[in-house]
Chain A
Amino acid sequence: MESFFNTIKTVPLNHYIMLCSIIFSIGVIGVLIRRNAIVIFMSIELMLNSVNLLLTAFSVYKGDASGQVFVFFVMALAAAEVAVGLAIIVMIYRNTNSIDTNVLNRLKW
């Protein structure tokens, strides 16, 4: 078990920041290029998760548990956000029979 955790000891903090930047950018691209509201939501989850991983990496790097507690709060917030957001998407689907975000550009119908 000890040797398993020792593999991480050769990874500099920069590579964690690099990985999380790439995942975050993929999430941004997903929000920009997709029109399906659910896929846009999933891209937002991707961004939230990349930030979670970076917070954890910094928390381990500094030896401070506050970062991991923050990740816990971010997860609680993401759960609340997903519940409300998916309810809104279901309601939009009932009204317009589509989850294309382009249908909503007039904000009323």
Chain B
Amino acid sequence: MNTFYFIAFLSIFFAILVISAKNPVHSILYLVLTFFTFTIQYVLLNAQFLAIVNFIVYMGAILVLFLYTLMLINLNKDSEPVKSGMVKIAGVLGGGCLLVVLVGCLKQVGVADPVLLKDPNLGLVQNLGKVLFNQFLLPFEISSLLLLSAMVGAVLLATKEKKTA
């Protein structure tokens, strides 16, 4: 049994659990597991930089941010909103149609070559850093501006408004 298929099965399994878990905290924990399987996929593709960034930024930072927000919001069991059965069936049908269309398109093309690692240094930090700071220097600087503005915006939005009136 190939490692890829096992990990892919785990990814799909945990992703389904993310959207079907009743408790949002369980959803977040399943999302952590899903992202961990994605990290393993990156390691299998020898994209070591992305594996580490996925591990630290997604699992470490973003999901902890989710958990903190959930802690601030203090959800109870009875305040958990539930959609009616019809809307759920319609949602699953809509998403299923998207999947059928994507898979149907994929059936039209032939089987591609296996994913071969031609250059073993491709995903290493040294190689990616060279590409990032030569070819993509301007987008890198602009993304730093984006992060700064997002931070300012988040602080502005989340601080309580003072009663001015």
Residues of chain A whose beta carbon lies under 8 Å from any beta carbon of chain B: 5, 7-19, 21-30, 32-36, 38-39, 41-43, 45-46, 49, 52-53, 56-57, 59-61, 63, 65-66, 68-69, 71-73, 75-84, 86-91, 93-94, 98-102
Contact = CB atoms under 8 A, between A and B. Distances in A.
Looking at chain B's contact residues, the main secondary structure is helix
Given A12-B114, A49-B35, A69-B136, A43 B65 contact: no
A19 B50 contact: no
A31 B27 CA distance: 13
Nearest to B143: A76
Contact of B123 (A16, A34, A60, A79): A60
Q: Which of B50, B72, B83 has the most CB of A within 10 A?
A: B50
Interface string B33-77: 011001001101111011001100110011001100110110100
B97 to A, nearest CB: 9
B120 to A, nearest CB: 8
Interface of B: 2-5, 8, 11-12, 15-16, 18-19, 24, 27-28, 31, 34-35, 38, 41-42, 44-47, 49-50, 53-54, 57-58, 61-62, 65-66, 69-70, 72-73, 75, 79-83, 87-88, 90-92, 94-96, 98-99, 102-103, 106, 109, 111-119, 122-123, 127-128, 131-132, 135-136, 139, 143, 146-147, 149-151, 153-155, 157-158, 160
